[in-house]
Amino acid sequence: MRRHRTTAVLLVLAGLAATLSMPASGSRPGAVPRLVFPLVAKTDLWDNYGDPRPNGRHAGIDMENPWRAPVVAVEDGSVKYWDSGLGGCMLYLYGRSGTMYMYIHLNNDLTARNDDKGGCVKGVTYLVPNGAKVTAGQQIAWNGDSGDAAGNPHLHFEVHPGGGADVNPYRHLKRGVKPLFAARAGAVFSLALRGKLVAAGAGAATLDVDGVRRYPGGRWLDIDAREVELTVPLGTDVTGFDELAAPSRRQLRKPANVTAYTLKANATPGAIVGAPGALLLGRVAPSG
């Protein structure tokens, strides 16, 4: 039930991932760039911009997301902490394009019991320092239910081109590229991907992924199911999965439930959004 009281899919791209954090110098003034979606989580997204609310017109989009889902930067920029009675713990992202974004109702709980005891501070609400420069797809905060969203975790997200009046974020969110995991560009990472192996061979493997865990330090996150194509380097441990070593690629008659582990690498825009071939398979194991 949608209760609010407040204000991929394989990417059809050959250079899209690289454009996600490019400067806006080649775009028209005030244009909102193609965004990285602001969360790594299963998300219920619909257009509620402009809906009447007790405190006025709704200036953003509310998205249903799990409590403490990772909230990420939608483009390169810098962040500023804020808080208010209605919005609770908030964050402003000043994008390199000149667009300003607002993230509202971030976490302020120390436990999963809606205790409101954490305050709006780094380590509870925010993952980066106040004023930090961040890169697209980097985690900056945790989703929550602060302010008048108490008991209903969701992210209220606003888009302000040129730092001016709000516009409907819905079309920008719909065309945004969903991150597979959260990371600062250049950070060392590896992943566990949970899902079904649906195609393999010729140095590639395609998984229908519905869960992801980032190392080091991550936890399993349920995500909206999506296909991810991994590169299979020579010498990869494919024990029990002869299809991965086949000279030609083919669809599996019976998709296999697996957990795939990627090789350690430095995060790139393509890897963060799961662009085809951007992740290297290290090993694969059957899962229940």
Span 55-72, pLDDT tens digits: 767 678 898 889 999 999
Taking the alpha carbons at both ends of the chain, their separation in whole angstroms is 31
What confidence tens digit (pLDDT) does each residue in 236-274 have? 888 889 899 899 999 999 999 999 999 999 999 999 999
How much is the pLDDT for 254? 93
How much is the pLDDT for 17? 41
Q: What are the strands, taking DSSP E only, across the chain?
A: 52-53, 56-57, 61-64, 70-72, 77-84, 88-95, 100-106, 133-134, 139-142, 154-160, 188-201, 204-215, 221-231, 250-262, 265-266, 281-286
- The rounded Cα 173 to chain-centroid distance in angstroms is 11
Dihedral (CA of 40, 42, 46, 51) sign: negative
How much is the pLDDT for 138? 98
Q: How many Cα atoms sit within 13 Å of 135 on the Cβ side? A: 18
Residues 146 and 156: their CA atoms lie apart, in Å, by 11
Class of domain 188-286: mainly beta
**Three-class SS state of 227:** strand
Mean pLDDT of the chain: 88
Tell whether omega for the bond before 216 is within 30 degrees of 0, i.e. cis.
yes
What confidence tens digit (pLDDT) does each residue in 215-233 have? 998 999 999 999 999 999 9
What's the CATH number for 23-174? 2.70.70.10
Predicted TM-score (pTM) of the model is 0.88
For the chain, domain boundaries = 23-174, 188-286
Residues 6 or more apart whose CB falls under 8 angstroms from that of 6 comprise: 53, 55, 58, 62, 86, 87, 104, 105, 147, 148, 149, 156
Residues 223 and 143: their CA atoms lie apart, in Å, by 15
Whether residue 5 is predicted with pLDDT greater than 70 in this model: the reply is no
| 10, 13, 64, 191, 242 from 93: Cα distances, Å | 28, 26, 20, 27, 47
Residues 116 and 133: their CA atoms lie apart, in Å, by 28
How much is the pLDDT for 2? 42
The candidate with the shortest Cα–Cα distance to 221, out of 277, 180, 175, 280, is: 180
The yes-or-no answer to whether 23-174 and 188-286 have a common fold is no
